[in-house]
Amino acid sequence: MPVRLVFVFMPIAVLMVTRTAIEASVVLLPMRYAWIPSFLVYYLSIGICVVVSAKKFNFTLRIGSLRPAPKARYLFWGIMIPGLLALPLFVTNVKAVPLIFLGFILLFSIINPFFEEIFWRGLLHYMPVSSRTKILYSSILFSFSHYFLWGTYWLADPKKLIPTVAVTFIAGILWMWFLVKQRNLLYPILSHSLCDLFNLSVAVFYGLRLATF
């Protein structure tokens, strides 16, 4: 098997390890706390993949910088649009979300995009396939991960799960497209942070309320 082909199968390994951790967590812990070890295992498995890839497969992580600024069309379609996709969900439901909860989501929206963009875009960009295949493969698995990992428990309500899966699929396409064209991961990280703030502020809150009350 070609070395870089390993990158194709890493997402599957991360999903299976994290799913196992989720199933164990919901058995051993109250539902309102079970997401904590689940996310820790998710981030840890991503970190292991990145470190192993760097040491064994010559994976070089380049975050990039704000300068030079991307061309306007890439900035609009690849960054602004995915970042604002969840804004309607936020505007129509945010009044039901406690202010303190928004604080936790803000913190999460800083941490989560860094790990996910490094993995779902930065790492999978090294797959030995065409740019179109990279974009499609990474966005499908990225979207599926939200259903497979969180849809059974914290996002079980279809009214929240369906928009989350749809948003992550479209956003995944646009972020990888941007990375393929611009070779800059910093802008997708920032866009992902904005999307998480809008999307998760509502979806996760309702998911937690559904699972714990």
Which residue is associated with the tokens 């309607």?
Answer: 88
pLDDT tens per residue across span 109-153: 899 999 999 999 999 998 889 999 999 999 999 999 999 998 888
pTM across the whole model? 0.91
Give the residue, 88 or 96, on which the prediction is more confident: 88
Residues 6+ apart with CB under 8 A from 158: none
Among 4-13, 99-108, 171-180, the least confident range: 99-108
Between CA 182 and CA 78 the distance in angstroms is 10
**Long-range contacts of residues 27-30, Cβ cutoff 8 Å, at least 24 apart:** 30/212
Q: Which two tokens stand for residue 159?
A: 């009214």
Residue range 47-71, pLDDT digits in tens: 999 999 988 887 788 899 999 899 9
